[in-house]
Amino acid sequence: MSLSAEYLDMDKGDAGPGKRRGFFVSHRCLAAAALLVLAALVVVGVATRYLSPEASGALQHAPQEPSAPVVRVTDLRLPRSVQPLHYEVELAPRLFGDFAFTGAVAVTMHCLSATDAVVMHSKDLNVSDVSVEETASNVLVPCGAPVHDAARQFLRLPLHKTLSAGTNYTLRMRFRGWLNDDLAGFYRSSYTDAAGNKRYVSIGSALKPVSPNQLVLVFVSSRACSPIGGRI
């Protein structure tokens, strides 16, 4: 009996003829729902476009940018047309400021075969005042501007007159470089003295196969080393 009475009480709360019945949604909620549905359709369309087998195949077979060709450095040995007999070297290092050094070299060389160019090793050196002359007569051989080959660490000196086999020549030039701090060639090092002051020294003792090129222009080959006279 109590259950029936409860149902009767609920019936009493029903809306009368003047009241609206049902589930109501505001215009703002309807607009938001429509936007969500539209966004979902867009996402599905994009995913279908790019995840289809045709699209995957196109992406896998897309042309790639060509990589830069690897240039192989060849002919690392110097020509054997001339052979150095003696070096006379002057060096003037500056152990302050930009740590530059200047120098001059006179190389007496013997021409083994006729040639119209002299090629030597050089690295990080600016060359100037280049001349070639016959050692015995001091007659100058006209030459062009030096050409640097950074990849092979070469310096090529073109000549306007062919050198004669069996003749000695003297190559003279001035150069400028920098005392690096990577422990190679003609480099700088530092220490602290008893008073706490930082001092710099120049060192050229670590002259391994390539390192001399940073100190002076040299001819390096399998032949015996030539005598070097120097002044610092």
Average pLDDT on 85-101 reads 85
pLDDT mean across residues, the chain: 75
Domain range spanning residue 91?
Answer: 82-222
What are the DSSP calls for 121-171, one per residue?
E-SS-EEEEEEEEETTT--EE-B---EEETTTTEEEEEEEEEEPTT-EEEE
In this predicted structure, what is the pLDDT of residue 134? 98
Task: Return the pLDDT at 128.
Answer: 94
Q: Cα 211 from chain centroid?
A: 19
- pLDDT by residue (tens digit) across 27-54? 677 677 777 777 777 666 666 666 655 5
- Per-residue pLDDT, averaged over 201-229, amounts to 53
Query: From the centroid of its chain, how far is CA 177?
Result: 20
The per-residue pLDDT for 219 is 55
Q: Distance between CA atoms of 130 and 105, rounded to whole angstroms?
A: 10
**pLDDT confidence of residue 172:** 96
**Per the domain annotation, does 34 fall within a domain?**
no
pLDDT in tens, 152-204: 889 999 999 999 999 999 999 999 988 877 766 676 777 888 888 887 776 66
How many domains does the chain divide into?
1
DSSP letter string, 55-75: HHHHHHTPPPPPPPPPPPP--
Note whether residue 129 is domain-resident: yes
In a domain, 104, yes or no: yes
pLDDT value for 159: 97
- For residue 56, pLDDT over 60 is answered with no
Q: Is there a domain that residue 203 lies in?
A: yes
pTM above 0.85, yes or no: no
Any domain includes 209: yes
CATH at 121: 2.60.40.1730
Q: What's the N-to-C CA distance of the chain in angstroms? A: 125
Residue 61 pLDDT:
53
What is the mean pLDDT of the segment spanning 199-226? 53
What mean pLDDT is predicted for residues 132-149? 95
What pLDDT is recorded for position 36? 75
Note whether residue 113 is domain-resident: yes
Q: Do the Cβ atoms of 205 and 186 come closer than 8 Å?
A: no
